[in-house]
C-alpha cells in the first residue's frame, strides 16, 4: 500500500478500504506524504465523491488521529452545536451560555477561522486574556465546574481534520459534501458529545450555495450520526444576508454581549431559538420546541445566560470587565457611513460581497499564518425588509487604513439592493431534518 495507489484509485472512481483511508490519514498527520499528494487525494474526492462507508471510515480515522475525549463521567447527555459557517454567524457563542444556564452541559471544540467567516475561537479571543489552548483535563474540569467550555482544536485534537480543513480551502475543495461531512463528524466523535445539532447554512454568504445541497448534507450527517451512535439533528438556515448586525471580531463580540443582555436582532434571535430549542429537546425530556424557545427567551430576559457567559469567560482567563463594558473593546481608527442614494425597501444584501469587503479590511485570514485585524469589519444598519430614504445610513465601514475607505464604501453600497416592490419576508430557518 502506498499513497500513489490511493491517488490512482480515487482518480479511477474506485472505493477505498478502511485500511487505505487510515493509511492516508496517518501519513498525512505524520507528514510522510507531500502536500501535493494530499491535495491530489482531496481533489479526486471532490471530483468523484466518496461512498457513505468511505465517509464513515474517514470520520473515524480523523477522530482517532489525535486525542479523544470521554465525557461520560460528566453527564449522561453532552450536547454540541456546530455550524458550517457564514458571514456574521455568532449563534454558537450565544448558545453555549444559554444552554449551560439551563443546566445542559455544552462541550465545544473549535478552530480558528479561515476565509471571510471568522472562527468562534477568534471571536472569543477578542476578550483580553481569554484562553482556548486548554489541556483535556482543564477542558473537562471547566465543564464540570461551569457547565460549558470551549477549547482550541490544537495540534493533538483531531489533527488530521485540521490539516484537511486547511488544505480543502487552499485547493478550492471547501464545498465538497463528503469531506465536509467527514470533517464535522470526526470532531464530534473525538469530542465525546452524544447529542449534536448542526446549523447547515446555505446561500451567498457560505460555501454551500443551495437549499438542496444543504438538505443532502443534513440527511448524510443524520445517517452518519446513527452509524456512530450519536443523535443528530440539522437546521438549515439562510445565509443570503449577514447574520445580525456585525461582521468582524470585536464588532461581533460586542453584538454577542448585547444579545445576551436582551438586545438582539430578530434574525439572529430566530436562528438561536430554532437551534437552541432542538438542543434542549435532544438533551432533556422537554420535546416541545415552542416551550423550549420560550425557555431560551426567559434566560436571556432575566440575564441568567449573560451571567453564565461571564462565568465562562472568567473560568477561561478572560477579563470580565470587557464583558461588563464591551465599549472597552478596541475600535477602528475610521468608522465611515455608507449612505443610500435611492429610497425604497432593502430587497437583498449580498453576503458574499459583504464578507469579501470585510476580509479586505482585515477581518479575515486566507492562510494558516495570516493575521487578522480584530477592529476591522462592517456593521449593518439596514436589513432586508427595512425601509430606506435617500441619505440614510445603510452600513458602516470600520478600518484603520484611510486608503481603503472610498473603494469599500462604494462596493458596500452596491451590496444593497433597494426595491419599491412589496416583499414577502421569509424566515432564516428553512428546514429541520432529524
- Confidence label for 51 from pLDDT (cuts 50, 70 and 90): very high
How does pLDDT run across 120-153, given as a tens digit for each residue? 888 999 999 999 999 888 999 999 999 999 988 7
Decide if 247 contacts 412 (C-beta within 8 A): no
Question: What is the CB-side half-sphere exposure of residue 69 using CA atoms within 13 A?
Answer: 29
Write down the pLDDT at residue 42.
Answer: 95
How does pLDDT run across 166-213, given as a tens digit for each residue? 888 888 888 899 999 999 999 888 888 889 999 999 998 888 999 999
The sign of the CA dihedral 212, 218, 221, 223 is negative
- Confidence label for 66 from pLDDT (cuts 50, 70 and 90): confident
- Taking CA 353 as the corner, what is the angle to CA 348 and CA 358, rounded to the nearest 5 degrees? 120
Three cell numbers written together for 160: 488530521
pTM of the model: 0.90
The sign of the CA dihedral 221, 226, 229, 231 is positive
Structural domains for the chain: 3-49 (no CATH), 79-159+175-326 (3.40.1030.10), 330-419 (3.90.1170.30)
From residue 197, alpha-carbon distances to 171, 194, 292, 421 in Å are 28, 10, 15, 37
- Confidence label for 35 from pLDDT (cuts 50, 70 and 90): very high
Amino acid at each position: 500500500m502506498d499513497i500513489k495507489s490511493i491517488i490512482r484509485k480515487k482518480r479511477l472512481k474506485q472505493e477505498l478500504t478502511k485500511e487505505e483511508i487510515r493509511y492516508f490519514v496517518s501519513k498525512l498527520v505524520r507528514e510522510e506524504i507531500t502536500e501535493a499528494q494530499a491535495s491530489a487525494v482531496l481533489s479526486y474526492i471532490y471530483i468523484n465523491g466518496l461512498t457513505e462507508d468511505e465517509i464513515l471510515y474517514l470520520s473515524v480515522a480523523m477522530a482517532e488521529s489525535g486525542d479523544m475525549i470521554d465525557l461520560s463521567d460528566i453527564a449522561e447527555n453532552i450536547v454540541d452545536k456546530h455550524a458550517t459557517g457564514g458571514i456574521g454567524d455568532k449563534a454558537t457563542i450565544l448558545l453555549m451560555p444559554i444552554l449551560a444556564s439551563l443546566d445542559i452541559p455544552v462541550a465545544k471544540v473549535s478552530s480558528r477561522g479561515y476565509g471571510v467567516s471568522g472562527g468562534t475561537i477568534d471571536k472569543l479571543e477578542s476578550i483580553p486574556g481569554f484562553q482556548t489552548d486548554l489541556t483535556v483535563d482543564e477542558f473537562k474540569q471547566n465543564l464540570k465546574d461551569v457547565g460549558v467550555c470551549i477549547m482550541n482544536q490544537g495540534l493533538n485534537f483531531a489533527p488530521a481534520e485540521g490539516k484537511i480543513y486547511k488544505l480543502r480551502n487552499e485547493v478550492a475543495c471547501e464545498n465538497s459534501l463528503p469531506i465536509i461531512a467527514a470533517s464535522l463528524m470526526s470532531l464530534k466523535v473525538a469530542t465525546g458529545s452524544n447529542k449534536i445539532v448542526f446549523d447547515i447554512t446555505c446561500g451567498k454568504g457560505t460555501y454551500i450555495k443551495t437549499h438542496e445541497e444543504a438538505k443532502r448534507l443534513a440527511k448524510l450527517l443524520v445517517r452518519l450520526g446513527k452509524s456512530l451512535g450519536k443523535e443528530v439533528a440539522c437546521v438549515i438556515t439562510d445565509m443570503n444576508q449577514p447574520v445580525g448586525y456585525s461582521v468582524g471580531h470585536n464588532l461581533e463580540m460586542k453584538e454577542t454581549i448585547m444579545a445576551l443582555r436582551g438586545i438582539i436582532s430578530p434574525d439572529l434571535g430566530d436562528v438561536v431559538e430554532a437551534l437552541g430549542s432542538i438542543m434542549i429537546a435532544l438533551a432533556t425530556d422537554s420535546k416541545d420546541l415552542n416551550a423550549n424557545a420560550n425557555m431560551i427567551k426567559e434566560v436571556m430576559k432575566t440575564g441568567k445566560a449573560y451571567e453564565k457567559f461571564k462565568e465562562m469567560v472568567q473560568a477561561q482567563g478572560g477579563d470580565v470587565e470587557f464583558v461588563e463594558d464591551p465599549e472597552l473593546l478596541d475600535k477602528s481608527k475610521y468608522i465611515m457611513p455608507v449612505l443610500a442614494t435611492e429610497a425604497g425597501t432593502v430587497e437583498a444584501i449580498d453576503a458574499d460581497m459583504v464578507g469579501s469587503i470585510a476580509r479586505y479590511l482585515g477581518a479575515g485570514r486566507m492562510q494558516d499564518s495570516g493575521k487578522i485585524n480584530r477592529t476591522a469589519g462592517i456593521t449593518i444598519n439596514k436589513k432586508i425588509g427595512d425601509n430606506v430614504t435617500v441619505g440614510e445610513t445603510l452600513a458602516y465601514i470600520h478600518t484603520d487604513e484611510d486608503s481603503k475607505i472610498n473603494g469599500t464604501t462604494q462596493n458596500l453600497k452596491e451590496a444593497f439592493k433597494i426595491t419599491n416592490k412589496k416583499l414577502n419576508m421569509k424566515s432564516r430557518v428553512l428546514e429541520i431534518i432529524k
